[in-house]
Amino acid sequence: MSGITVHSDERLRFLTLTSTSESGALSRDFRHLIDIIRHTTPLDLWSDGYVKWRDMRRFFPARNILRALTIGYCRVRTSEGYGVLHVPYYGDFLPQSWISDRWNEIHGARVVDIRACKTGAYDKKRLVRYVLSQYLANQDALEQYSTGGAWIFKGYRTYFKSLIKQIGYFAALARWDTILRSGRDPLHIGQWTLDGPPPGVGRK
């Protein structure tokens, strides 16, 4: 769970999205939902009546309420019911009623669940155990796994594979935690961390 290391100072939340017999394509509709989230602001949530003004500072502390919501997610699809998405994510608070309304409009399913993890990301091992027990306990139900770009960083799989080719698996694994904890795209990290980028990975 490299994403937990990347977001070590943030609150992990869990979003569950269901389907019905009348629902459309789950993956396509989920991408649509993510696009809507990333084009919605906290002010939009207030103006549409999903968040009270007195709660804005509590839900969006030290936050520009005109800036779009953020979400970095790990998506696990299971075969439960007509298809379920389990989505651990880091990012802004999302009102359950707002997610329910948007998901119903997009996918024809109103039943959603969203909650924040009580354990902080500082206890990484406990968080990983919880995520694994929630989403991997019944492996027969697993159908698909993917991550959004903000969960770690865009192109992380290619980057890690390039590291392995350059310095070997165990050396790459040893450096990986340092790369993630830097809080920056490794393509912008200098010689002091990577001794230069792996072969085939250019700089921006």
Selection from 93, 42, 40 nearest residue 65 by Cα: 42
12-17: strand order across its sheet: 112-116, 12-17, 84-91, 71-78, 142-147
- Give the per-residue pLDDT at 98: 97
Residue 204 lies in a domain: no
Task: Extract the tokens encoding 76.
Answer: 């696990």
- Give the per-residue pLDDT at 191: 35
Residues 115 and 166 in one domain: no
Residues 43 and 143 in one domain: yes
- Give the per-residue pLDDT at 185: 47
- Give the per-residue pLDDT at 167: 81
Domain that holds residue 179: 156-194
- Give the per-residue pLDDT at 175: 76
Element (H, E) at 121: none
Q: How many independent structural domains does the chain possess?
A: 2
- Give the per-residue pLDDT at 12: 82
Residues 105 and 163 in one domain: no
Angle between helix axes 169-181 and 156-167 (nearest 10 degrees) is: 140
- Give the per-residue pLDDT at 194: 39
Residue 85 lies in a domain: yes
- Give the per-residue pLDDT at 3: 58
Mean pLDDT by 10 residues, the chain (204 residues): 60 90 94 96 97 95 93 86 88 95 96 78 57 56 66 73 83 76 52 40 41
- Give the per-residue pLDDT at 6: 56
Residues 131 and 160 in one domain: no
Residues 67 and 137 in one domain: yes
Residue 201 lies in a domain: no
Residues 35 and 135 in one domain: yes
Residues in contact with 13: Cβ distance below 8 Å, sequence separation at least 6, in sequence order: 88, 89, 90, 91, 94, 114, 115, 116, 117
Task: Extract the tokens encoding 47.
Answer: 């103006």
- Give the per-residue pLDDT at 190: 41
Instruction: Give the residues across from 113 on adjacent strands.
Output: 16
- Give the per-residue pLDDT at 134: 60
